[in-house]
Chain A
Amino acid sequence: MTFSPGDLFLILPELLVITAACLVLVLDPVLSSSQKDGLAWLSLGTLAICMGLIASQMNHAASAFGGIVIIDAYACFWRLLLCFVAGLTVLLSHTYLREERLYFGEYYGFVLLSLSGMMVMVSAADLLTIYLGTELMSLSLYVMAGLKRSEPRSLEASAKYFVLGAFSSGILLYGISLLYGATGSTRLPAIAAAIAGRSLDDPLLLAATVLLAVGFGFKLAVVPFHMWTPDVYQGAPTSVTAFMAVASKAASFGAFLRVFVEGLGSLKANWSAIFLLVCIATLVLGNIVALVQTNIKRMLAYSSIAHAGYALIGVVAAGVAGTQTGEANGITAVMLYLALYAFMTFGAFTIVAMLRKGGLDGDEIEDFSGLAARHPLAALLMLVFMVSLAGIPPTAGFIGKFYVFMAAVEAGLTWLAVLALVFAAISAYYYLRIIMVMYMREPDPLTAASPRLIMSPALSIVLACAVAGVVFFGLYPSPLVNLAGHAVLTFK
């Protein structure tokens, strides 16, 4: 029940992130406006070091703080991904904030704090810690969503996010309390041991499972717990949206899988039924409503809902699969999906962030009219991201879908794969629409301020990373597949 200094080494990346966050918060008032760029570079440097550290931890599974924290390959996979996304966010924000005239040095601090919450989530093996991590992440995001205070939409997004987030965390907490009552512990291994052989005939377990599912469902933005997503994604500053859409979703999936597969593994027959239902609803609703959106951030929000649905297929497959490998394949598929999703979604949001109309976000789909003529490279990149989101080879999106559907078929859920793929085909329509607008429409000559594109080296790096990931992993996913596969092996 004590901790050793070695434990601190295990959570060194988290500690570094926190330290950097504190440094940023402390330095911010001290530095003059011109020096604030340094905060971004500080954050970036820290993240780079963290990624190195995490990579070195990859092969040594260990637990710290009496089993509250588990630093295994699974956790490292997510932490690596999260750090990477945070890094991209910092780079994106660096230019975007200046453009938006949001000179908050604290911003980077919040990114880092939020990141630390996410990292806690994915490496925790204790419901309490997971809950705290979730709250740390969410609180930071609530604040970040409302950062653009001059813009009513931003505040509204923040308020909605906050109210519903608090509501859902209440539900989550209630579920945890019931689970605690039913099993006598909040540690996942202990929970797993306590419910081994039990079923949902135990009403406490049943209620706990549902409430946990709802709590996590909110974070994952799956139907019907998704409804905050479009509003918040649209209202929040685009760089925050990108961070939310990618990192918070990834972290939530990381924790979610840990809780349900490791903690509630013996109830998988039950929760897979829940998620099957949720998954179908998500696929249908996410894709169909995305079809009729006119705001690209909102459209991407629905698309991210739909993508959560695809990832859930992997979860369901893991739950339904009778075999150990089948389960592992399902989880691998989810991890892979989220990692690949990160590249394409982040890339798409970056382009959205770059497009300006007057002093504002050019975030209506119409604003993309004729982009290909004015900025061929940006249009090409957006095309790649859209194609990837639509899941068309040879892009990363296809690889993600491929593994998810493979897991589904292996688990005998062929019909689900068919359904999901039909909706994938439908989804292609709204991604194509963006391409169509960019390439086949001319900008309306009547609108006075034609949208322009902001550029900076930092943005170039972000886009380069995103597109490189999309293309490289689309063509040669093996490294990532092996990484995820390896991570899953240490997971159970």
Chain B
Amino acid sequence: MLYTLIPFLPLAAFLVLGLGGTRIKEQAHLVAVPAVLLSCLLSISAFTEVASGSVISVPLYTWLTSGNLDVHIGLYIDRLTAVMLLLVTIVSSLVHIYTIGYMHGEPGYARFFSYIALFTFSMLMLVLADNLLQLFVFWEAVGLCSYLLIGHWYERASACSAATKAFLVNRVGDFGFLLGLLLVWYSFGSLNYHDIFPAAHEAANQTINLLSPLGGNWDVSLFTLIGLLLFTGAIGKSAQVPLHVWLPDAMEGPTPISALIHAATMVTAGVFMVARLAPLYNLSPVAMQVVALVGAATMVVGATIALTQTDIKRVVAYSTVSQLGYMVMACGLGAYASGMYHLLTHGAFKALLFLGCGSVIVALHHEQDIRRMGGLKDKLPVTYWTFVIGSLALAGFPLTAGFFSKDAVLVAAWLSGPLGQALAVLGLLTALMTAFYSFRLVFVTFWGPSRVDPHHADHIHEPSRTITVPLLILAVLSILTGYLGIPSFLEPVFSTGGEHSGEHGAAGLGIMIAATLMGLAGIAGAYYVYVLNPDLPDRFARQWESLYKGSLNKWYVDEAYDRAFVKPTMMAASELWKRVDVEVIDGAVNGVARGVAWSGWLLRLVQSGQTQHYALAMAGGIVVLVTMLILF
């Protein structure tokens, strides 16, 4: 099937670059870019085919069989997949192009291209998976690419530890994912979507006793358990609270990566997974509620932290966390289509924002602290304007893509019940903060007096065209995607969910107005604070010092983890090693050896060299033997 090429073209690019990268070097983009563009074209073709109503399924090969564990690798394209395909290939193509300019002259140029090609392949395979294990395999594979790309500048210690952290935190999530996956297999005897989904309804009432090892009795619904376990994976991958800590650190990677992986595609895999498994989640209200609450919490936490960050990419990163919270919350409330919709628009405008950041950073010679920027709007006009469009979309400014999708999420939340209404209110609040921090970024970076390092201040200019063109395209997309009618396109996939995107009614209108107002208020607030009264932030910070510091230090989550998990683990490891392994086990082993040797030394003394002692021993032997025989 031709569509097989969609993922395998990037793979081919990766192999060529990976094996011959040292020779190709500066020409690496000549391999990678055409491959991704081609697969982008094929994706569009696939999209149109799927849009006409068909579902494409391409079996590839049998991965492993063992008893009833029977896993095949295959491609499966329905509407959900098709949308994701478009997102991935388009953003990826643009990032590829952007990279040509951004990474120009870097020693790891070819390596970088090979990694993103590999990432594109993995991400495509992830969304194309027709079974859970394939999903998991590429779920981890994208994690690997993320790891490699975060650590792209391997000389930097901070990049390396960020990479490690990202991988580890994801592993924690994947731990749950794996167990959930096994539970699915155990319960259904299969991992294929088309086996599981039909069977799911029949098993709806099954429960599992979680306390059976202890002899207790705590029955939990099978699907709740499956849902929660799988969602653990999503928490990790989509940077939800409490595993969100890796994502901001991941900004140590080159900016194109932040755009592609840590904003548009990989981090949304969790949302995609929940949406993909909607038939299972729908069977467990508890799991759904947990998903929604986690999403909401993430949304709020991310936004509050983003308010005070000073690193340009970290602000955007926390906004990503926050936006991912929106999507997850939407899924948790059953509004899968809205969630996916937001995913898509977010993919466009967040990629735009990140690439814009990248443009700024390149222009400022890798300066990322917004306190040392300012007044750039004249020097970097393309960047500035596209950045503003992205920020407007993020802030939910009317008629941008972000406006529509955020509105869809909030409306769906409101309509989904009491919990949803509470969360919708939170969502509105977050929207306010979102608008505030995104325009804080705009104003501080581009407006006002220049605080740029005087060394660089003179030669700030717009980067090359390979950078600006993707920005422009993404800016267009940031507006355009709002008008494509994605929710209704996706509706058939989630037909079992109770969402009716068509009937917003009065509530819908109210939410829309509220959200708009919130967005405008946020922008106005930012303008007031950062343009009109630049000394205000400092005063705020002094006035609410603990709040400010909490936000600035990301609510001390990293520190808490360090104290609660990392340090104790390392302590336990070295203590266990010294106490148990070295002292107890080896001590026992060496002790036995020493004991034997010691008794040897002792017994050796019997051999005194005195002949008559020897004779005495013989006589003693006679006594013992005679006694023994007499007595027994």
Contact = CB atoms under 8 A, between A and B. Distances in A.
In the complex, A touching B, CB below 8 Å? Answer: yes
The size class of the interface chain B forms with chain A is: 20 to 34
Given A207-B626, A231-B609, A291-B596, A224 B603 contact: no
A285 B621 CA distance: 14
Interface in A135-174: 159-160, 163-164, 167-168, 171
Interface string A283-296: 00100111111000
A214 B625 contact: yes
A200 interface: yes
Given A164-B611, A285-B603, A171 B630 contact: no
A31 interface: no
A227 B622 contact: no
A270 B614 CA distance: 25
A270 B621 contact: no
Interface centre among A210, A231, A274, A277 (most CB of B within 10 A): A210
Contact of B617 (A160, A227, A273): A227
Contact of A213 (B596, B614, B625): B625
A426 B597 CA distance: 10
B253 to A, nearest CB: 50
Contacts of B597: 291-292
A224 B621 contact: yes
Interface string B576-614: 000000000000000000001101110110110101011
A289 B615 contact: no
A167 B628 contact: no
B629 interface: yes
A149 B599 CA distance: 35
A284 to B, nearest CB: 9
Contact of A167 (B596, B600, B603, B615): B615
Interface string B412-444: 000000000000000000000000000000000
A209 B621 contact: no
Interface string A250-292: 0000000000000000000010011001100000010011111
A160 B625 contact: no
A398 interface: no
A420 to B, nearest CB: 15
Interface centre among B599, B611, B620, B628 (most CB of A within 10 A): B611
Contacts of B618: 164, 167-168, 171, 214, 218, 224-225, 227
B286 to A, nearest CB: 57
Contacts of B629: 200, 206, 209-210, 270, 273-274
A87 interface: no
A209 B599 CA distance: 32
A214 B626 CA distance: 11
B156 to A, nearest CB: 45
A13 interface: no
Contacts of A214: 618, 621-622, 625
A211 interface: yes
A274 B614 contact: no
A270 B620 CA distance: 19
A122 B609 CA distance: 32
A292 B600 CA distance: 6
A301 B625 CA distance: 24
A228 interface: yes
A289 B603 contact: yes
A217 interface: yes
Contacts of B544: none
Interface string B80-106: 000000000000000000000000000
Interface string A198-234: 0010000011011101100110000011011011000
Contacts of B611: 159-160, 163-164
Interface string A15-59: 000000000000000000000000000000000000000000000
B632 interface: yes
A167 to B, nearest CB: 5
B600 A227 contact: no
A305 to B, nearest CB: 11
Interface centre among B596, B604, B625 (most CB of A within 10 A): B625
Contacts of B606: 227
Contacts of B615: 163-164, 167
A150 to B, nearest CB: 20
B632 A273 contact: yes
B625 A288 contact: no
Contact of A292 (B601, B613, B617, B628): B601
Nearest to A230: B607
Contacts of A213: 625
Contacts of B632: 273
A277 B624 CA distance: 10
Given A206-B626, A207-B626, A210-B629, A288 B596 contact: yes
Interface in A390-432: 426
B604 A273 contact: no
Contacts of A289: 600, 603-604, 607
Contacts of B620: 224
Nearest to A205: B629
A270 B604 CA distance: 30
Nearest to B605: A289
A288 B593 CA distance: 11
Given A160-B614, A214-B621, A273 B628 contact: yes
Interface in A291-327: 291-293
A92 to B, nearest CB: 27
A285 B601 CA distance: 11
A459 B109 CA distance: 71
A224 B620 CA distance: 8
Contacts of B626: 206-207, 210
Contacts of A228: 614
A200 B599 CA distance: 36
Given A160-B611, A214-B622, A277 B600 contact: no
A200 B625 CA distance: 13
A36 B319 CA distance: 105
A303 to B, nearest CB: 13
A292 B601 CA distance: 6
B629 to A, nearest CB: 5
Contact of B614 (A159, A164, A206): A164
A153 B620 CA distance: 27
A164 B609 CA distance: 13
A199 B599 CA distance: 38
B625 A227 contact: no
Nearest to B609: A231
Interface in A344-366: none
Interface string A423-455: 000100000000000000000000000000000
A272 to B, nearest CB: 12
Interface of A: 159-160, 163-164, 167-168, 171, 200, 206-207, 209-211, 213-214, 217-218, 224-225, 227-228, 230-231, 270, 273-274, 277-278, 285, 288-293, 426
28 contacts: A160-B611, A164-B614, A164-B615, A171-B622, A200-B629, A206-B629, A210-B626, A210-B629, A211-B622, A213-B625, A225-B617, A225-B621, A227-B607, A228-B614, A231-B607, A231-B609, A274-B625, A274-B628, A278-B625, A285-B603, A288-B596, A289-B600, A289-B604, A289-B607, A290-B600, A291-B597, A292-B597, A292-B604
List of 4 A-B pairs having minimum Cβ-Cβ separation, nearest first: A227-B614, A292-B600, A224-B621, A291-B600
Interface of B: 596-597, 599-601, 603-604, 606-607, 609, 611, 613-615, 617-618, 620-622, 624-626, 628-630, 632
Given A159-B611, A214-B622, A292-B601, 6 more contacts: A163-B615, A207-B626, A210-B629, A211-B622, A225-B618, A274-B628
